[in-house]
Structure 1
Amino acid sequence: MNLHVSADIWQPIRLTLELAAITTVILMIVGTPIAWWLVRSRAWWKEAVAALVAIPLVLPPTVLGFYLLVALGPSGPGGALASLWGARTLAFTFPGLVIGSVLFSMPFVVQPIRNAFEAMGEKPLEAAATLRASPWRAFWTIAVPLASPGFLTGAILGFAHTVGEFGVVLMIGGNIPGKTKVLSVAIFDYVETSQWTEASVLALGMVVFSFCVILAMMLIEKKMSRTAS
């Protein structure tokens, strides 16, 4: 095995961290009101919305990637959106990867936040209402602090899931160095071209990263159990 590691190994690492960070921020902004609505709404169809949000948990990544490829392509809504700045498509672009990652990682962020809001119960909000706190103020001063473990869990899971995704990003992003070649795709590419050193370094890094994520989840869960008791 060649012990020399090529300098371009850092490119997919940087791109993956950038993609995961942007995706996580968007998911926290979008996922929080969705989770809050799922907890507070009395609409009969809210569980259908919850199922739609959670469908990436069971849907094969290539299926979601296929439909996203069609939607982001020149003939889909993504093509119409891209035409606003003179492009033809959002497929095989970094913005396209962000859109796909947001949709595919959505349940990993929404569900922990929803669970945290549900565990909070009604009493804290009822107490805030007796003190004449507005719903907006009660949300930010009562609900969000009490649900903070759920936010932390959602952020970690959303980031980690985006880092490890392969099927969706390959379908809609391809393998363009510096633009869409993320870590999981890079490992696959290095194996195909027999660059075993690079593949081993990236794979080991993913193993260590996965261990840290699981350990963080266990510590958060342990802390939540102590707080609840």
Structure 2
Amino acid sequence: MSFLTHDFLQTMSLTFKLALYTTLFLLPIGIALAVLLDSLRSKLAIILHALIWMPLILPPSVLGFYLLVLFNRHNPLGAFLLEHCSFQLAFSFGGLVVASVIFSMPFMVNPIKNALSALPPSLKEASYTLGKSRIYTFIFVLLPNIKSAILLGCVTSFAHTIGEFGVVMMIGGSRAGETKVASIAIYEQVETLNYTLAHQYALTLFVISFVSLVAIFALVHRRRAQIL
């Protein structure tokens, strides 16, 4: 196909790479936070839940701006990483991953937390009665019973990361092969009135988003059928 140019393939490859890395890093973080939220019964749980939901409420450019300020080499964190780790988060792929993990966090945490809360207490009690430890119970008893929710969190986080714009624009800019993802490419092509190439990027993301939504709704339908 004529639109499968080097730039197009490079940009789409980077977009999928970002979504994959974000999902892989977010999975253990999301499970840990979901367990913490499910176990907390104090006001701290309310504050933590609010912080996790913040990316859904804040304009993406606001979150991206503060992350850019935080990661800037002129600030303590950015200077420390650059000096001691030779690692720069601002305008780098690593920065995009960190920002995407924060931005997509509620999409991973919330379904897992809700699934954990819906499990009957008898599951844990039966496992403890059999002499199993908390870790064994969590890994081999609880997690298998919420695998649909975990898969739902992964699919939703992956799809959400693919469509990011404001956060990735602020923290990554548009460096070809390093931070230029599909949503940024669409914006740039529209600015230069290249609607043909913009359409190719947009149609690709449209198809991916639609397929992801079908998968998400199928998982939700499956979870409801299992509950009933």
Give the structure-2-normalised TM-score. 0.95
% identical equivalent positions: 40
Q: What's 1:211 paired with?
A: 210
Cα deviation per residue 1:153-191 (whole Å; 9 max; x = unaligned)?
100011111110000000010011011000100111111
**Map of 1:79 onto structure 2:** 79
Higher alpha-carbon deviation: 6-15 or 171-180: 6-15
Aligned to 1:170: 169
1:44, distance to aligned residue in structure 2 (A): 2.9
Question: Residue 112 of structure 1 aligns with which residue?
Answer: 111
Question: Which residue identity does 1:86 align to in structure 2?
Answer: S
Cα-Cα RMSD: 1.4
Q: Structure 1: which amino acid aligns with 2:83?
A: S
1:72-119: per-residue Cα shift (whole Å, max 9, x none)?
Answer: 1012213321222335x4210111111100110001100011011111
Partner of 1:27: 26
Letter in 2 for 1:83: E
Structure 2: stretches of 5+ with no match in the other structure: none
Higher deviation after alignment, 160-169 or 69-78: 69-78
For 1:116 and 1:202, locate their aligned partners in 2 and report how far apart those are by CA, in whole Å: 35
Deviation at 1:124, TM superposition (A): 0.5
Q: 1:4 Cα shift?
A: 4.9
Structure 2: distance between partners of 1:221 and 1:90? 36
SS in 2 for 1:198: helix
CA contact (8 A) 1:4 1:197 kept: no
Question: 2:184, 2:86 → 1: CA distance?
Answer: 28
Contact 1:97 1:180 in 2 (8 A): yes
Residues 36-185 of structure 1: pairs in structure 2 closer than 5 A: 36-76=35-75, 77-86=77-86, 89-185=88-184
Distance between the aligned counterparts of 1:190 and 1:121, measured in 2?
Answer: 52
State how far apart, in whole Å, the 2-side matches of 1:147 and 1:47 are: 23
Q: Which amino acid aligns with 1:102?
A: V
In structure 2, distance between residues paired with 1:226 and 1:85: 49
Q: Which amino acid aligns with 2:91?
A: F
SS of 2:154's partner is: helix
Contact (CA 8 Å) 1:153, 1:220: kept in 2 or not? Answer: yes
| SS in structure 1 at match of 2:43 | coil
**What is the alpha-carbon distance in structure 1 between the residues aligned to residue 186 and residue 125 of structure 2?**
52
Amino acid at match of 2:205: M
How has the CA–CA distance of structure 1 residues 26 and 100 changed in structure 2, closer, same or farther, with 3 Å as cutoff? same
Instruction: Measure the CA separation in 2 of the matches of 1:122 and 1:224.
Output: 19
The answer to whether 1:201 aligns with 2:211 is no
How far apart are the structure 2 equivalents of 1:84 and 1:155?
A: 33
**Residue type of the partner of 1:81?**
L
In 1, Cα distance between the equivalents of 2:42 and 2:24? 28
Moved more, 4-13 or 180-189: 4-13
TM-score by length of structure 1 reads 0.95
Name the amino acid aligned to 2:212: V
Distance in 1 of aligned mates of 2:122 and 2:194: 58
Report if the CA contact (8 A) 1:36-1:114 is conserved: yes
Report the secondary structure of 1:12's partner residue.
helix
